[in-house]
C-alpha cells in the first residue's frame, strides 16, 4: 500500500522525485517483496528503462512509444478500429488506465460495441497525450482532464511541476466502429467522424430546414439523387460539428443555422501541391450570418474518407492573423493505431482519401 501511495505522489512532486522513487522501488522489487496489485500499477508507471522488471510480469503493458509533437503548422490524426482490438486481456488492461469517473461512466453504458469504443476513446486520448510528453514520462493513467467554462475537454496539467507542458490541443470523436483523436500545437482543433452509411431517422430536408443554414438547405435540396443527398448531408454534418467543437463553446455559441459551410474552388497557382481527386482544389470555408468576418476567416477544414467506412472532418484555427494566407493547405499526418501495440502511418495511402479542403498529407 505504501509503495503505491509513494509512487502516486511522485507525479505531483515532479520529475526529479519521480526518478528517486523509481530507484527505491526497483530496490524493493529486486528483494522480491512484491504484491500483484502493486505490480500492475508499477508496471504502468515505470515506462522506460525497466525492461528486465517488466519481463517478470506477463500482464504488464509495454512502454508507450514516444511521439514527436506536431510542428506549429501540422495536424496529427490518430484513429483506432475497435474491430482490430480483439484481445480481452488487452481491453482489461486498457480499463485500468481510466480514472474512477471514467470507469463509472463506462460501467453505466449499454451495448458492448458502444462500451468498447467508448473505452478505446478514453484510452486513445490518454495514451496519445502521454506519448507526446517526450521530456518527462507521463503515465496515461495519471492524466487529468477538465472542461472549459463552455464544456470543451482539455488536459488539466498539475501545477508546480518543473516542466512546462506544451500547448497541446486535442479533440476526440467516435462511432461504434472508429475512434479518433486529433492533435495540434498552439491552435484549437475540432474533429468529427461519422459512418458513411449513417441514416437519419428523420427526413433529411426536414432536418436540414430545422438545423442548417438556408444556403445549406438550398444546396441539399438541389441534389436529386437521395443517396448522394444523404452522403452530402453527412459530410456537411461532420464539418459543422468539427467547427463547433473547434470553436469550443458548444451549440449555443454557434447554433448550426447561423453559419454556412461550403466548398469554394481555389485556383491551382503557386507552389502548393494539393491532394484531391479533382483537377481543381476546393477550399472549405465557413461564413457566419451574425458574426464579423474576422472570426470565420480564421478556420481551416479538411474532409476525408477514412478507412473506407467513415467521413472525418477536421477543423483547426489558422495560426496567422485575421484573414491569413489564402490557399495554404493543412499539413496532415494520419496514423492507425492500437495503443501499446502498434502504429501504422496511413496518410498518403488508400486509407485516407481527401474529399475536399486544402490538404497536404505527410
176 binding other proteins? (CB under 8 A): yes
Pick from 43, 175, 337, 347 the residue near other proteins by CB under 8 A. 175
Q: How far is CA 6 from the centre of its chain?
A: 32
3-class DSSP state for residue 197?
Answer: coil
Give every CB contact of residue 289 below 8 A, 6+ residues apart in sequence: 213, 258, 259, 260
Choose between 60 and 118: whose C-beta lies nearer to other proteins. 118
Angle between helix 214-221 and helix 204-211 axes, rounded to 10 deg: 160
CA neighbours closer than 13 Å in the CB half-sphere of residue 275: 20
CA distance 332 to 346: 11
Rounded (10°) CA dihedral 323, 324, 330, 331 = -170
Choose between 186 and 257: whose C-beta lies nearer to other proteins. 257
Helix (H) or strand (E) holding 249: none
Contact positions with other proteins (CB under 8 A) in 91-150: 105, 108-111, 114, 149
Q: Select from 111, 142, 146, 114 the least CA-distant residue to 41.
A: 142
Least separation in angstroms between residue 148's CB and other proteins is 11
3-class DSSP state for residue 350?
Answer: coil
Pick from 66, 250, 327, 348 the residue near other proteins by CB under 8 A. 250
Pick from 194, 216, 283, 317 the residue near other proteins by CB under 8 A. 194
**In Å, what is the CA distance from 328 to each residue of 46, 73, 112, 208, 323?**
42, 10, 42, 31, 12
Least separation in angstroms between residue 275's CB and other proteins is 28
Contact positions with other proteins (CB under 8 A) in 196-215: 198, 200-202, 206-207, 210-211
Choose between 64 and 261: whose C-beta lies nearer to other proteins. 261
Least separation in angstroms between residue 301's CB and other proteins is 18
Pick from 78, 94, 243, 256 the residue near other proteins by CB under 8 A. 256
Least separation in angstroms between residue 266's CB and other proteins is 29
Which range in 14-22, 194-202, 313-321, 347-355 contacts other proteins by CB under 8 A? 194-202
Pick from 62, 92, 151, 228 the residue near other proteins by CB under 8 A. 151
Least separation in angstroms between residue 203's CB and other proteins is 10
- 310-336 burial, b at 16+ Cβ within 10 Å, e below that, comes to bbbbbbbbbbeeeeeeebbbbbbbbbb
Least separation in angstroms between residue 36's CB and other proteins is 25
Choose between 83 and 344: whose C-beta lies nearer to other proteins. 83
Which range in 12-20, 43-51, 244-252, 299-307 contacts other proteins by CB under 8 A? 244-252
> Strand 352-356 vs strand 342-345: parallel, antiparallel, or unpaired?
unpaired
Pick from 18, 241, 283, 305 the residue near other proteins by CB under 8 A. 241
Contact positions with other proteins (CB under 8 A) in 259-318: none
- 75-102 burial, b at 16+ Cβ within 10 Å, e below that, comes to bbbbbbbbeebeeeeebebbeebbeeeb
Pick from 77, 94, 237, 243 the residue near other proteins by CB under 8 A. 237
CA distance 155 to 48: 23
Choose between 67 and 120: whose C-beta lies nearer to other proteins. 120
Least separation in angstroms between residue 353's CB and other proteins is 22
Least separation in angstroms between residue 360's CB and other proteins is 29
Choose between 30 and 105: whose C-beta lies nearer to other proteins. 105
Contact (CB, 8 A) for 153 and 245 = no
Residues of the shown chain interacting with other proteins in the complex, contacts defined by CB under 8 A: 105, 108-111, 114, 149, 151, 175-176, 194, 198, 200-202, 206-207, 210-211, 237, 241, 250-252, 255-256
Amino acid at each position: 500500500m505504501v509503495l503505491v501511495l509513494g509512487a502516486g505522489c511522485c507525479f505531483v512532486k515532479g520529475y526529479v522525485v519521480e526518478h528517486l522513487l523509481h530507484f527505491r522501488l526497483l530496490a524493493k522489487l529486486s528483494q522480491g517483496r512484491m504484491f500483484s496489485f502493486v505490480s500492475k500499477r508499477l508496471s504502468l508507471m515505470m515506462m522506460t528503462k525497466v525492461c528486465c522488471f517488466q519481463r517478470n510480469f506477463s500482464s504488464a503493458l509495454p512502454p508507450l512509444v514516444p511521439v514527436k509533437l506536431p510542428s506549429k503548422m501540422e495536424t496529427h490524426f490518430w484513429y483506432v478500429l475497435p474491430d482490430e482490438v480483439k484481445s480481452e486481456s488487452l481491453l482489461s488492461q486498457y480499463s485500468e488506465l481510466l480514472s474512477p469517473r471514467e470507469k463509472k461512466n463506462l460501467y453505466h453504458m449499454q451495448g458492448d460495441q458502444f462500451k468498447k469504443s467508448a473505452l478505446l476513446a478514453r484510452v486513445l486520448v490518454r495514451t496519445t497525450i502521454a506519448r507526446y510528453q517526450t521530456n518527462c514520462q507521463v503515465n496515461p493513467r495519471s492524466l487529468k482532464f477538465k472542461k472549459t467554462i463552455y464544456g470543451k475537454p482539455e488536459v488539466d496539467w498539475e501545477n508546480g511541476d518543473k516542466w512546462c507542458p506544451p500547448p497541446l490541443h486535442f479533440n476526440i470523436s467516435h462511432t461504434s466502429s472508429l475512434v479518433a483523436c486529433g492533435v495540434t500545437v498552439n491552435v484549437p482543433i475540432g474533429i468529427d467522424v461519422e459512418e458513411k452509411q449513417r441514416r437519419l431517422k428523420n427526413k433529411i430536408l426536414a432536418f436540414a430546414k430545422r438545423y442548417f443554414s438556408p444556403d445549406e438547405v438550398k444546396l441539399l435540396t438541389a441534389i436529386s439523387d437521395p443517396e448522394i443527398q444523404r452522403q452530402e448531408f453527412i459530410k456537411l454534418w461532420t464539418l459543422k460539428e468539427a467547427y463547433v467543437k473547434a470553436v469550443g463553446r458548444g451549440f449555443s455559441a454557434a447554433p448550426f443555422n447561423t453559419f454556412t459551410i461550403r466548398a469554394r474552388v481555389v485556383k491551382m497557382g503557386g507552389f502548393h501541391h494539393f491532394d484531391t481527386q479533382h483537377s481543381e482544389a476546393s477550399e472549405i470555408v465557413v461564413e457566419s450570418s451574425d458574426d464579423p468576418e474576422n472570426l470565420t476567416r480564421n478556420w481551416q477544414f479538411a474532409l476525408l474518407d477514412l478507412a473506407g467506412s467513415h467521413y472525418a472532418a477536421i477543423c483547426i484555427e489558422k495560426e496567422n492573423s485575421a484573414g491569413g494566407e489564402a490557399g495554404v493547405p493543412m499539413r496532415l499526418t494520419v496514423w492507425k493505431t492500437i495503443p501499446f501495440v502498434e502504429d501504422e502511418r496511413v496518410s498518403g495511402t488508400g486509407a485516407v482519401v481527401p474529399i475536399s479542403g486544402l490538404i497536404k498529407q505527410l
